[in-house]
């Protein structure tokens, strides 16, 4: 990577870090990235509202490949002293999406300056943390005839600059589930005259271990109780309304769907038996992220060509990644680049994106772009 390009994007990364924005509110971040690319490249910029992409066009009959970066932050105080610390209390780039976007911008600079024999799309995406972003941006794949898409995520606890990859599922599917129930209030001295949803919620929670039992599922299935909210602080009233918040998660999306169906069926049955109404709502949906072997093999080959350490991941991450939306539309893969074995974990107060891996990401992406060219010759 050209050193002047690296210096530029490290500066960009730290500017992004100083101005973190939450999912679906990344107006400054998006515009700053657009301004950076306009000032430093001749790439075509397509603004899609909350997200955008840049394009290097090699020719009408060339292959269309894409590389994606996310740019939202999270609700978390900075926690450490940094010269480029967040200027917004309670919001910070503690997942490293500032680094992902800076890396993609650096790759864009290199391609703009040196050229490529493919049409390369640089996708900058909002709202990864909530799962909204890729769900909205997935239209990009068909609209542009994208034949393959790649991404990376930084990760601590992995050797510095190592490329960590796996075939098949790399991240679990998950979603937030809200079960709302309403029965009938009564005086606290006469609970038999009312219908309190607390007992139904207790039975649902008690059934969870059976639903997620390993012997009943092919892969890992989890159900985490997030909140139980029944009634209010009024000791003379038997509660009649409540909601149960769960996070359901599975290695395979089909098994997450089955867990959802089992929970809905049980809740509906309990509500009917006890004379209550029940409703269900969902948020923060993430599909399984399923790497296509052909694409993950290209990551291995590209990393090897650059002399990077390639590490085979033993299992998928429990945490979700909305990149899976794209992999339902076209082939592709995501890999993880190591921050270092003892580097502070993402989503922790001591974390700041490791600028050392920007060049690693750019060189990996360049090798992937060049590899595509080799296949067509």
3-state secondary structure of 14: helix
pTM of the model as a whole: 0.94
pLDDT of res. 372? 54
pLDDT single digits (tens) 54-64? 999 999 999 99
Per-residue confidence in pLDDT tens, the chain, 377 aa: 999 999 999 999 999 999 999 999 999 999 999 999 999 999 999 999 999 999 999 999 999 999 999 999 999 999 999 999 999 999 999 999 999 999 999 999 999 999 999 999 999 999 999 999 999 999 999 999 999 999 999 999 999 999 999 999 999 999 999 999 999 999 999 999 999 999 999 999 999 999 999 999 999 999 999 999 999 999 999 999 999 999 999 999 999 999 999 999 999 999 999 999 999 999 999 999 999 999 999 999 999 999 999 999 999 999 999 999 999 999 999 999 999 999 999 999 999 999 999 999 999 999 999 985 444 44
Architecture label for domain 3-168+288-376: 3-Layer(aba) Sandwich (3.40)
Q: Report yes or no: 351 and 345 within 8 Å, Cβ to Cβ.
A: yes
HSE toward the beta carbon, residue 247, CA cutoff 13 A: 13
Distance CA 338, CA 343 (A): 9
pLDDT single digits (tens) 79-133? 999 999 999 999 999 999 999 999 999 999 999 999 999 999 999 999 999 999 9
Nearest to 34 by CA among 71, 73, 83: 71
pLDDT of res. 374? 46
Distance CA 260, CA 251 (A): 14
Q: Report yes or no: 33 and 104 within 8 Å, Cβ to Cβ.
A: no
3-state secondary structure of 237: strand
Q: Write the CATH number of the domain with boundaries 173-286.
A: 3.30.70.360
Enumerate the domain spans of the chain: 3-168+288-376, 173-286
pLDDT of res. 33? 98
pLDDT of res. 371? 85
């Amino acid at each position: 990577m050209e050193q002047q390009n690296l210096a530029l994007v490290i500066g960009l990364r730290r500017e992004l870090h100083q101005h973190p924005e939450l999912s679906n509110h990344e107006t400054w971040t998006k515009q700053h990235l657009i301004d950076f690319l306009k000032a430093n490249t001749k790439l075509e910029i397509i603004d899609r509202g909350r997200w955008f992409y840049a394009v290097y066009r090699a020719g009408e009959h060339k292959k269309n490949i894409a590389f994606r970066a996310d740019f939202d932050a999270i609700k978390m105080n900075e926690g450490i002293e940094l010269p480029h610390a967040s200027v917004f209390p309670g919001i910070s780039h503690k997942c490293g999406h500032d680094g992902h976007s800076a890396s993609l911008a650096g790759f864009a600079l290199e391609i703009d300056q040196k050229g490529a024999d493919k049409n390369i799309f640089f996708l900058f995406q909002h709202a990864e943390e909530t799962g909204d972003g890729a769900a909205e941006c997935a239209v990009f794949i068909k609209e542009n005839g994208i034949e393959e898409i790649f991404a990376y995520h930084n990760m601590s606890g992995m050797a510095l600059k190592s490329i960590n990859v796996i075939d098949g599922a790399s991240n679990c599917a998950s979603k937030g589930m809200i079960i709302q129930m309403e029965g009938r209030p009564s005086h606290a001295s006469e609970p038999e005259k009312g219908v309190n949803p607390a007992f139904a919620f207790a039975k649902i929670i008690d059934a969870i271990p059976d639903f997620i039992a390993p012997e009943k599922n092919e892969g890992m299935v989890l159900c985490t109780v997030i909140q139980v909210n029944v009634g209010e602080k009024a000791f003379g009233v038997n509660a009649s309304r409540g909601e149960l918040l769960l996070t359901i998660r599975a290695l395979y999306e089909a098994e997450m769907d089955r867990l959802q169906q089992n929970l809905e069926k049980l809740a509906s049955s309990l509500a009917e038996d006890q004379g209550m109404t029940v409703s269900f709502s969902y948020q923060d949906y993430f599909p399984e992220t399923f790497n296509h072997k052909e694409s993950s093999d290209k990551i291995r080959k590209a990393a090897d060509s650059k002399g990077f350490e390639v590490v085979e991941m033993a299992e998928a991450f429990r945490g979700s990644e909305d990149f899976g939306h794209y992999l339902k539309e076209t082939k592709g893969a995501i890999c993880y680049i190591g921050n270092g074995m003892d580097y502070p974990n993402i989503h922790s107060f001591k974390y700041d994106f490791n600028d050392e891996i920007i060049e690693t990401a750019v060189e990996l992406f360049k090798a992937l772009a060049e590899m595509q060219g080799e296949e067509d010759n």
